[in-house]
Every structure is written in C-alpha cells, then in structure tokens.
Amino acid sequence: MSLQNILQDWSKYRKGNEEGGFHDYEHLWGLAIDLNKCIGCNACSVACYAENNLAVVGKDKFAKHQEMHWLRVERYWDEPDLGEQAVSDYQSHGASFLPMMCQQCMAATCEPVCPVAATYHTPDGLNAQVYNRCIGSRYCSNNCPYRLRYFNFYSYYEDSWPAPLNMQLNPDLTVRDKGVMEKCTFCVQRIRAAKDVAKHEHRELQDGEFTTACAQTCPTQAIVFGDLLSLHTAGKAESTLSTLWRDQQVELGRTEQHKQNPDKRGYRVLEGLNTDPKVMYLERVREV
C-alpha cells in the first residue's frame, strides 16, 4: 500500500469498513425471525437452555438479572397511544415479542475491546467466545448494544443440575465455570458436527441439513436458520435464508437499507450503529 494508493483511494480507505475487513468466509450463518409468527411461547429459549447447558439460576438470581438466557424473548406491551382508548384497552392488544439472541454482528463491537482476544470472528462469520481464554473483564458485554452477553457470576454446576439432572447435560459442549462470559453461539456444536459429517462424506454442506435448537423448536416456524454467504460473496449457492433476505431487500454491510418496496418488513435491530448484525427480523403487522 503505497502513499500514492492511499491518496488516490482516500475515500475508499476512509469508508473501508462498509466492505468489511475479512472476505474469505466459508459460511455466514444467519437467522431470520418473523415476528408475525412469534407467539411469545418461549419454547426457543427453553430449547436453548437444554441444548447449550445453560445454567438455571433460580428465582432470586433471576430477579437480580444474573440469569443466563442466551436467547431471551423480550416482551413489550404495546404503546398506550397506539389506540384511542389508552390504558384499559392496550392489554387486549397483547404484547409484542422480540426474541433476541447474539446477533453475530459482522462488525461486532464486543470483539475489539476484549483484552485477551477471547472473542473473535471465525471464518464461519460467527462471533466465537473462547471460554478458556476469557478472564472475565466483562468489557464485551458493556460494549454490546444489544446486551446479549451473559456472565457466570457463580459456579452454577452444583446448584443448576443436581444429580441426576447432570445426566441431561449436552456432552457436545462444556459447562462453564464462574468468571467467564458466554453467549449464543448459533449452536456451534451442531454446525461443527454437520461440517464433520459432510467432510467425512466428501461433499459440501447442504442447506437445511441441520438447524439451531431455537429454529428446530419454534412451533410456528418463525425462526429460519441458514447460510448468508451468497449475500456477501457473489457466485455462492443460495440458501432458503439468503432468498428470504433478498426477498425482504435487506443487505449486509449497510447502516440503512434502501428498499425498492417499502412494504417489505425485514429489518435488523440497531443497524444504524454499523454493527452489521446477521439476524433479520420481519416486522409485526397489527391492527390498531
């Protein structure tokens, strides 16, 4: 990179971030969640607890916000001013739900701040969290605008899974001890297993070959898991998910979507912060 290059392409370097830093991705795992379909049943959250050995912290610690729900279903009561008859009526509209799991941002704010590089970007486009490397400075969580990182404030393994409940632990991943940060991994153990099978059978990983625990469990199939690589790199195979993203005219690497059709409901949470999340939500449409 000579000085001349820099001067010629100054605006390119200045805005370089919009193209992302790393390009040779093998996959870009992502999600799409249709909030029209979400009924707020929390089955995804429960599935996540079962799949990922999440500690059940108990009522008192939950009340202190020390719980470990990698996937939380956020509940918002509709704004009273949505309808004319305010307080008495808005409960009849019910609540809105927003299932939030790690957004696996392409420009993740948690990554640069970790002092020991315990969280980093994998060639699969995931934010990996290396439990063994984590020293628990908790800076990553502070710098996550979605607040989707959870910290082991205690050693939970004795209280959360008293025998024989320890037999139900998923052997494919660890039980974390006190003092480390953890978060949604998009069920990285399933990704790993599927990739190993594909490699063993000398073939490419197929779309829909496996899915995450939340997507598998969702009774209304509101959650779709898949590979977004074709949105990022031209010439890659389309998946169900990338078709969905294309259909909603949501693109990666944008702080603002320029939609041809404004009726398309797809959006990403807080994308204006340039975190470039890989989870697309489909806005809920409701009667007023």
Partner 1 sequence: MQHKDINEDIRWAQINKDVLRSMENPRKAYWISVGICLALLSLAVIAEIYQYNVGLGPTNLNWPHMWGLYIATFIFWIGMSHSGTLLSAILHIIHADWRKPIYRFAEAMTTFTLMTAGLFPIIHLGRVWNMYWVLPYYSDRGIWPNFRSPLVWDAFAISTYLTSSALFLFIGMIPDLAICRDNTRGWKKKLYTVLSLGWRGDDRQWRNFRKTYLIMACFLIPLAVSVHSIVSSDFAMSIMPGWHVTTFPPYFVAGALYSGCAGIITLFILLRYFFRFEQYMTLPILEKTCKLTFAIAMVWTYLNLIEYSSVWYGHDTVAKELLIDKFTGPYSPYFWAMNILGSVLPFTLAFEKLRRHIPTMFAVSILLNVGMWLERWMIVSPTLAMSYEPFTHTVMWASWVQWFIVIGSFGWFGLLFLVFVKIFPSVSMYEVKEMIFHRRHLANKDIAAVMHRRSSDPQPSEGH
Site of interaction with partner 1 (CB under 8 A)? 61, 64-67, 72, 74-76, 98, 100, 109, 112-117, 133-139, 141-143, 145-147, 149-155, 178-181, 270, 273, 275
Q: Which is nearer to partner 1, 49 or 244 (CB)?
A: 49
Q: Which of 231, 288, 252 is nearest to 93 (CA)?
A: 288
Closest approach, Cβ 172 to partner 1, in A, equals: 24
DSSP secondary structure letters along 52-76: TT-----HHHHHTT----SSEEEEE
Closest approach, Cβ 87 to partner 1, in A, equals: 19
Q: Which is nearer to partner 1, 152 or 185 (CB)?
A: 152
Residue 132, classified by CB atoms within 10 Å of its CB into exposed (0-12), middle (13-18) or buried (19+), is: exposed
Closest approach, Cβ 71 to partner 1, in A, equals: 13
Q: Which is nearer to partner 1, 90 or 210 (CB)?
A: 90
Closest approach, Cβ 34 to partner 1, in A, equals: 19
Q: Which is nearer to partner 1, 122 or 216 (CB)?
A: 122
Residue 269, classified by CB atoms within 10 Å of its CB into exposed (0-12), middle (13-18) or buried (19+), is: middle
Closest approach, Cβ 76 to partner 1, in A, equals: 7
Q: Report CA-CA distances (Å) from 62 to 56, 95, 102, 144, 224.
A: 9, 21, 20, 20, 29
Q: Which is nearer to partner 1, 46 or 130 (CB)?
A: 130
Taking residue 45's Cβ as centre, other Cβ atoms within 10 Å add up to: 19
